[in-house]
Amino acid sequence: STEVVPPVDLPVNKKRGRSIQSLDPHHLRPSDHSDISGFIRPRFYVISKKRGRWAFHVTYYTLSSASTRVVVHFPREASGFLYYKPSTTSVLLDGEIRFRIAKSSDAFDEGSDLLKPDGSVWKLGLSGVLCHKSYSSLADLLLKENASLRSIPPQAILAHLHRIVRTLDRRHITASDFHDVSGLFAPLYTFELEGSDTSSERAYIRYESAKEKPLPFPLGTHGFLYYLLPHGDMTEGQIRFRITQDCSPSSFVGGRDLTFSTGLPWHLPLHLLRGSTISGIACLLSEDLVANYSPSEKETTPPTGDDANIDVQLPRKRTSNPVITEFGQLFSLDFSHGRYTLWIKLGRQHLENVIFVNPLASHRNFRWYSPYNGVALCCFEPSRQPDKAVLRLIKVIKPFTRKVHAKTLSTPTAAEREQEVTEPPEEGQLFMFQGRERECFLRGSLAEASGAATRS
């Protein structure tokens, strides 16, 4: 069912229909000014020779749940102009219809774009306007004022509207596989195998979560999804997002991979594509693409019976850190936590999750307490002692700051105060305590995986 949030009180003289003759900020007229405050689906009329006086509607946004959809009215003071904002990328279809809050066309530049409650810009996507019949009058006006948009093939409009991706092989990507997901929480992709008669597959792609709240893709996230073959310290292949300057496939080489907020590469592990909400991507992962790579020298050991079960041992959801397979491999640590869990691969046989303590933490009130906030990329290195490792800080992502003692914590003992005066190391240095290297007990896992036992 669909519910409508009651609108705010409307002025008696507010127009129920409004006419517009231009979407160009340089040619707006006083009659193009519209007040849509409090409306659920305000109606606009476009005056054109082709269709005469033809209407279309817009909505602010909709809240959806399992059983109901709630249509939210436009906020107070939503008074201004619909206008066309051209694309800032090489893809014309990345342009948008926005609403500029301004008192008059002369004050357009001093105005501001209408925002949604989450802070994102209210907009109509260009591909949706050009594709949906309900916006036909708006599309006519848009094409009349922007001749360059008339040359866009219908197939390109559909591919952009549904975020169609036809290959994950970086060697065969085309301009139609390029998409901009900046600021989106869960963009819906459509995966179609080129030349296949089977129906397409769809999947929502998400960035990451912080404290169980989803985060949107960062601004500037435009480029190509692609499959990265396993190499180096990778345990399996991954889906990654290559950020490029434009939609040209040649820009792929000069681009960079999207990263999590930790600075590590954003990815979708291959084993999570099976039987999950993102399994639709797997239709583009041909056997040749997944298997077509040359194993490195250290991977030439014949597979054992245990290798067949390695996928079963992998974590059942995407973790914030990769599976650690060797010394020197980067992972992220949030130093506000007292201890961590990392997945570590033991040779070719199996995985284990290892718990180790924050090297800056102290044990108080039956738990590990960290006196610092901060995030950094670190790596393990072999210790002089068997079955142990030392930790090196490689790069600070969020600067270290001292916490204020919580009232619920008891007064620290002398030993705890000594621990808490330990300063974080500089980038490139090892974590130390009382002049000695801080060691982590890892049961020899990394020594097995990398073939390195101890440092000399």
Determine contact, residues 37/10, Cβ cutoff 8 Å: yes
Strands 164-165 and 188-191, by their bridges, are parallel
Q: Which residues of the chain have pLDDT under 70?
A: 1-17, 48-53, 64-67, 194-199, 211, 233, 235, 274-279, 286-288, 291-320, 346-350, 365, 405-421, 441-456
Determine contact, residues 52/112, Cβ cutoff 8 Å: no
Instruction: Name the residue among 360, 356, 358 with its Cα closest to residue 388.
Output: 356
Query: pLDDT tens for residues 291-321?
Result: 654 333 333 333 334 444 444 445 445 566 7
Cα 352 to Cα 344: distance, rounded to the nearest angstrom: 6
In which order are the strands placed within the sheet that holds 188-191?
Answer: 164-165, 188-191, 201-204
Question: Which long-range contacts does 419-428 make (Cβ < 8 Å, 24+ apart)?
Answer: 419/361, 419/362, 420/362, 420/371, 422/360, 424/335, 424/360, 424/372, 424/374, 424/376, 424/393, 424/400, 425/393, 426/393, 427/393, 427/394, 427/395, 427/396, 428/392, 428/393, 428/394
Count CB neighbours of 39 within 10 A: 21
pLDDT at position 168, please?
Answer: 92
pLDDT at position 300, please?
Answer: 34
Q: Tokens 């129920």: give the residue.
A: 16
Instruction: Name the residue among 181, 73, 66 with its Cα closest to residue 117.
Output: 73
Determine contact, residues 192/167, Cβ cutoff 8 Å: no
Overall pTM > 0.85: no
What is the amino acid identity at position 394? I
Query: pLDDT tens for residues 214-240?
Result: 888 998 899 999 999 887 767 678 899
pLDDT at position 61, please?
Answer: 84
